[in-house]
Amino acid sequence: MAQTASAKSSKITIGDLIKKVIFLTLGAFIAGFAIEGFLVPNDMIDGGIVGVSMILSHLFKYNLGLLIVLLNIPFVALALTKMGKKFVLQTFYAIAMLGIATNLFHHLRVTEDHLLATVFGGMILGVGVGIVLKNEGSLDGTEIMSLVLSKKFGLSVGEIIMGFNIFIYGASGMVFGWEQAMYSILTYFIAYRVIDVVLEGVESSKSLRIISDCAEDIGKALIEELDVGVTYLHGKGGYSGANKTIIYCVVSRLELSKLKEVVRRIDPCAFMSVGDLHEVYGIRMKKRIDKI
């Protein structure tokens, strides 16, 4: 039995590894397509080490893919002590695939319209980077460098990344012109917004806490009318000192308005707090989402 369990575990691990390699490759190739098909032909750059590589490639006519790999190696090496071998291997693999992708898509020009290149280049780049990040890899060593420097200089990771990118886009303005630099900054923001969508999902669920003297009636109605799973929490009123029953539940955005109607119908004075949830796990939640 032990051998069977071990074999199953091994198969799952190999399957997960293959899946991760596929998605890391896919994400890197999507990002490479965005860089070579939209940004490079229109003299726009990405942020971070990739952006530095793009400027150097333009100035000295070096191979962009090779520069991306070489310039990222010191920062990936830094991650060994901070994030472990698994992350380093996955990151190095993703960066190597990005280098290959930029060579594969070299001389490709999807559009000459700068606005279209900015919007669609940023969106496609964001999808590619988001897929890599979602699979525990990275295409750029800037964040790794920022983690190290933040502890030495007492600055936040975000502040260091922002300062680094200000320098890069300033250099971009001197090399490609300030108009192209502004397009590059816009591309960067679009890409990072899309990364958030890829990582967090479009269909964000809502978590609710409902405090009411009719908590049991509300909970019963939610279960019967919306097929919502509820959990009763026990609390105590800070002002009155009275014991309170708090309802906790998770619903989709589509169900939120109906839930509010049910609560207000039973207790117009009920207190409700609503929060965003970007990832929800559990068999019951999955079954409910499938029904919608």
The number of distinct structural domains making up the chain is 2
pLDDT at 7: 40
pLDDT of res. 203: 60
Show the CA angle centred on residue 88, arms to residues 93 and 22, nearest 5°. 35
Query: What pLDDT does residue 3 have?
Result: 42
**Lookup: tokens for 206:** 């809502």
Is the domain of 95 the same as that of 240? no
Of 45-49, 235-239, 260-264, the one with minimum mean pLDDT is 235-239
pLDDT at 287 over 70: no
Residue 163 sits in which domain range?
Answer: 2-200
Residues 188 and 257 in one domain: no
pLDDT at residue 5 is higher than 70: no
- pLDDT of the residue at 289: 47
Mean pLDDT taken over the chain: 85
Considering the domain architecture, whether residues 119 and 24 belong to the same structural domain is answered as: yes
Between 190 and 9, where is the model more confident? Answer: 190
pLDDT of residue 222 exceeding 70: yes
Of 92, 85, 98, residue with least CA distance to 25: 98
Q: Tell me the mean pLDDT in the region 42-56.
A: 93
What DSSP designation does 205 have? Answer: E
The DSSP annotation for 39-106 comes to IGGGT---SHHHHHHHHHHHHH---HHHHHHHHHHHHHHHHHHHHHHHHHHHHHHHHHHHHHHHHHTT
Both 127 and 222 in a single domain?
no
Residue 245: partners with Cβ closer than 8 Å, 6 or more residues away: 211, 212, 215, 216, 232, 233, 234, 235
**Which structure tokens are listed for 179?**
């108009």
pLDDT for residue 10 is more than 50? no
Domain termination site, one of 200, 230, 263 = 200
**Which residue type occupies 39?**
L
pLDDT (average), residues 148-166: 76
Q: Provide the percentage of residues in the chain whose pLDDT is more than 90.
A: 53
Q: Give me the pLDDT at residue 66, please.
A: 95
Q: Do residues 88 and 217 share a domain?
A: no
230 and 262 fall within a common domain:
yes
On the question of pLDDT at 219 being above 90, the answer is yes
Q: Domain of 233: which CATH number?
A: 3.30.70.120
Supply the pTM of this predicted model. Answer: 0.74
Judge if 181 and 266 occupy the same domain.
no
272 strand-pairing partners: 210
Tokens of 218: 């509300």
Query: Does the pLDDT of residue 17 top 70, yes or no?
Result: yes
Residue 243 in this model has a pLDDT that exceeds 70: yes
**Is residue 166 domain-shared with residue 214, that is, in the same domain?**
no
**288 pLDDT tier (thresholds 50, 70, 90):** low
- Clarify whether residues 192 and 126 are in a common domain: yes
> Of the residues 200, 219, 247, which one is the last residue of a structural domain?
200
Find the radius of gyration of the CA atoms of the chain: 25
Burial class of residue 107 (count of CB atoms within 10 Å of its CB; 0-12, 13-18, 19+): exposed
The answer to which of 7-21, 180-194, 224-238 has the lowest mean pLDDT is 7-21
Least confident window among 20-34, 144-158, 193-207, 247-261? 144-158
- The predicted pLDDT at position 29 comes to 97
Indicate whether 224 and 104 sit together in one domain: no
Q: What is the pLDDT of residue 49?
A: 93
| Last residue within a domain, chosen from 165, 200, 235 | 200
Do 117 and 232 lie in one domain? The reply is: no
Give the pair of three-digit tokens for residue 222.
Answer: 């939610």
Same domain, 230 and 279: yes
